[in-house]
Chains A and B, each alone.
Chain A
Amino acid sequence: MAVSIGAAPRSTRERRRTGGSAGARTLASTFAGYFILIFFALVFLYPFVIQIANSFKTEPDAATHPLSPLPDPVTLGAYEKVFLNTDLPLWLGNSLLVTIIVTVGRVFLDSLAGYALARLRFPGRAALFSAIVAVIAVPGVVLFIPKFLVLNQFGLYDSYTALILPVIADAAGVFIMKQFFESIPVSVEEAARIDGAGVFRTFWSVVLPMARPALLTLTIISFQGTWNEFPHTLVAVQSPELFTLPRGLADLVSGSLGKGTQYPLKLGAAVLATIPVAVIFVVFQRYFVRGANEGAEKG
């Protein structure tokens, strides 16, 4: 980014040298550029405006003026209904519980494995790493029924364990952590080891503190992925008491509660499902960006 900012004045100067018409063309293309950017910003963001606005509308208002960003009258009726007449508080609790446990578990287990694959010499390391890469390549959709079969066989189906355990470690996270640990210099660890610290001790108090950016990236993509996870909940649980927010929301839309349109209510629930990730996105945007590009690297 710094490079491009520094380069901007130079390129304008060069363009100006070529004459007035080029300057006019630059102006025109700047204008066109902004037009396209603003148009697409509207396309990408207005659905969220519609979502939020309509969750504060009455049902007739949402039905007659779906496009309007201003509720008339503003009402909290939909949210009252969501909290009092649906199991949403329960789903919210389940989602929080599952997401926090899975995120903490993933960050810890993935960094342990990533560190071992990057630094420790043990027999079978290369083969194991190939296996991890192969696992990343398995299309998730193929595992729906298989995961159910295993959970069912072990008697775990329809439990919190079924929601948490199968996803508490992920191959992509191991890959990200391994790449990161390989990028930091070995010398610090070696110093610690020479001072007599054991392998775990070195990992825990010397290496992990240096890995903060990678850990934060992994925390954020794990949180986002687990919070939004839907298909896994379909094959892991069936009792409404174990529904997470996406599962409950899907049930709300297609199931018995979805009778009639009740769009403000559904959109309100969707808003609540979006808020945590939206907040984290705004605060930690650059880690999201990094996460997306780590994804590119692993492919």
Chain B
Amino acid sequence: MADMTAPAGGPVTGARRPRLSAAAREGVAGWLFVAPVVVILGLFMLLPILMALWVSLTEWNGQGSPFRAGVPFVGLDNYARLFTEESLARQDFMTSIRNNFYYVLIVVPAQTVLALGLAVIVNSRLLKGRTFFRAAFFFPSVTSSVAISVVFLFMFANSGAVSGLLNLFGIDGPQWFSDSRGTLHLLLGALGLVDPDAPPAALTDGGPFGLSWWEWLSGPSVAMTTIIMLVVWTTSGTFMLMFLAALQDIPVTLEEASRLDGAGRWQTFRHVTLPLLKPTLFLVLTLGTIATWQVFDQVYVMSQGDPAKTTLTPAYLSYKTAFRNFDYGPGTAISFVLFVIIVVLALVQRWVLRDRDAVPRPGRRTRRGKA
């Protein structure tokens, strides 16, 4: 084609169709097509990460360029401070890890179970109006996280809608956003195991990473439970759609055969449907874990880490450290530690939930472990 159209003729045609083989032209076109995306992703994904790695090793304060000669280089100090030194920085960081841990522990199972349950019911062939219900459950997922956080702030305000609703049932609700009490503490207190106001010295005297055992065992604070409810409410819809798509791929005859064989509804679900949903279930759990370790918007709008730092999360802490305290080095270090946490958890989860019937890829895992 190139030979026919580019006979080294007039300058106009020569410029438009240079003398290249078809393969070379396709190669050039290929790179031209991907160039904008490569440039954007390179400049704003790859380069930032490299730059941030450098900043995390310095004490840059935001003035001028971080590559200036005067910027103090501190090596791994910003990282070490998060784990080893007895300091406020470590205490805040560990508190944020604790908060986020409890948050993940509740949100991921709750949204997965709710999404699966709703998908099964919406998928039921005997019910009408499925399109409407599917849309209703999915709608919160597409709305602005900031806007919806404002709505939840209003609903959970003191003497707000939720308190009013609880009052209808004779329950005196808590002051949601100003209540820093840990729910696990409250539970232990309610069971009469421990007095939350005077916890035993064995728990308060020591503990790992600058927090006492008692502090580690707080559970999510009452304030955090509002963010938990908000997030379960907003994300379940998306995961429901994933389950729904998977359910619709299951042949109707398979479940019916099982029912005709005398299996009950639950048995059919447990032994026929659920195994077929396994890949989707794993995906939902993994996506959920990755997303929940990054909770930020809701914390920013609803609580800013308060009360008593019980809604502080690593993502918010890293933002606050960098942009409020202008400690860019430590802030960046926190975000890289969070990065590692997310990657490690995703890999561990993939390994734990791996399909045991599948043939494992030989030899790769052991070699990776040393790197």
**Chain A: how many interface residues by the 8 Å CB criterion?**
107
Chain A 1-13, CB-CB to B under 8 Å as 1, else 0, gives 1011001100110
Question: Within the assembled complex, what's the spacing in Å between the Cα atoms of A299 and B294?
Answer: 17
Output the residue of B37, B44, B283 with the most chain A CB within 10 A. B37
Q: Which of B28-72 contact A (CB under 8 A)?
A: 28-31, 33-34, 36-38, 40-41, 43-49, 51-52, 55, 65-66
Chain B, residues 132-145, CB within 8 Å of chain A (1/0): the string is: 11111111111111
Contact yes or no, A274 B1, CB < 8 A: no
Q: Is the CB of B41 within 8 A of A171?
A: yes
Docked-complex contact B143 and A228, CB < 8 angstroms? yes
Q: Which of B201-254 contact A (CB under 8 A)?
A: 233, 237-238, 241-242, 245, 248, 252
On A, residues with C-beta under 8 Å from B are 1, 3-4, 7-8, 11-12, 14, 26, 29-30, 33-34, 36-37, 40-41, 43-45, 47-48, 50-51, 54, 62-63, 66-67, 109-110, 112-113, 115-117, 120-125, 128, 131-132, 135, 138-150, 153, 165-169, 171, 174, 193, 196, 198-200, 203, 224, 227-228, 230-231, 234-235, 245-247, 249-250, 253-254, 261, 263, 266-267, 269-271, 273-274, 277-278, 281, 285, 288-289, 292-293, 295-296, 299
Q: A113-B33, A150-B43, A253-B301 are in contact. Are A123 and B51 (CB under 8 A)?
A: no
A142 & B335 in contact (Cβ 8 Å cutoff): yes
Q: Determine how close the nearest CB of chain A comes to the CB of B96; give it in whole angstroms.
A: 12
Listed by A's residue number, 29 A-B pairs whose Cβ atoms lie within 8 Å are A4-B248, A7-B125, A11-B252, A34-B127, A43-B233, A45-B139, A62-B154, A67-B164, A109-B40, A113-B34, A135-B46, A138-B45, A139-B338, A141-B294, A144-B319, A145-B318, A166-B40, A167-B44, A193-B1, A199-B29, A245-B144, A249-B144, A253-B153, A253-B301, A261-B157, A273-B146, A292-B242, A293-B242, A299-B287
| Bound form: Cα–Cα A41–B124 in Å | 16
Task: Knowing A44-B140, A270-B150, A293-B245 are in contact, say whether A144-B66 is a contact too (CB < 8 A).
Answer: no
Q: Which residues of B contact A271 (CB under 8 A)?
A: 147
CA distance A247 to B300 in the complex (A): 11
Among B164, B237, B290, which residue has its beta carbon within 8 angstroms of that of A44? B237
Q: Which residues of A contact B142 (CB under 8 A)?
A: 224, 277, 281, 288
Interface of B is mostly: helix
A-B contact count (CB 8 A): 304
Asked whether A33 and B34 contact (CB < 8 A) given A44-B233, A144-B335, A250-B300, the answer is: no
Question: Which B97-145 residues have a C-beta within 8 angstroms of A?
Answer: 118, 121-127, 129, 132-145
For A278, what are the chain B residues with a Cβ–Cβ distance below 8 Å? 139, 143
How far, in whole Å, are A270 and B146 apart by their CA atoms in the complex?
Answer: 8
Q: Which residues of B contact A203 (CB under 8 A)?
A: 33
Q: Shortest Cβ distance from A109 into chain B, in angstroms?
A: 5
User: How far, in angstroms, from A144 to B320 measured CA to CA in the complex?
Assistant: 11
Q: Are B37 and A246 in contact (CB under 8 A)?
A: no
**Docked complex Cα distance between A36 and B332 (Å):** 45
Judge whether B252 and A266 touch: CB under 8 Å. Answer: no
Residue of B nearest to A63 (CB): B159
Q: Cβ of B256 and Cβ of A249 under 8 Å apart?
A: no
Given contacts A33-B127, A34-B127, A153-B51, is CB(A121)–CB(B30) below 8 Å? yes
Min CB distance A291 to B, Å, is 9
- Say yes or no: A116-B41 contact (C-beta < 8 A), given A67-B164, A292-B138: no
